Amino acid sequence: MAGLDGCLDALSPADAEIWLEEDVRRVLLSFQDWYQGESGLVFWIPTGEKRIKKGHASDSYMWICAGAGAGVRLRLGAALWGGVERDARPLVYQDPTALQRSDPIEVGLHNRRVS
């Protein structure tokens, strides 16, 4: 069993972007329609802080590839949300047991509505 991050890392960067745009996006839209926008679908990405980067000038979200495509950036927000990525907000986790770190860790993204 693999999460979204494992699936992206197993594919070449070009195939991963196509998979996001065509397959994952279709599942997101289907989920949204089925629940009439009243439920959320969460991809928990524990390494999100290191792997998801926001372009501050463009409000775009990028996925930093690992494996064979290490360092390549995929257009994560554009592929998943088709133009509404500026509405995305980070999912944060505050580790109550962390003695060294008191700031929240970004572990994913949330977008209220996919178009």
pTM exceeding the 0.85 threshold for the entire prediction: no
pLDDT at 26: 92
Determine contact, residues 37/28, Cβ cutoff 8 Å.
Answer: no
- What is the per-residue pLDDT across 38-54, written as a single tens digit (0 to 9) for each? 887 777 777 777 888 88
Determine contact, residues 39/113, Cβ cutoff 8 Å.
Answer: no
Distance CA 94, CA 87 (A): 22
Split at pLDDT 50, 70, 90, the class of 101 is low
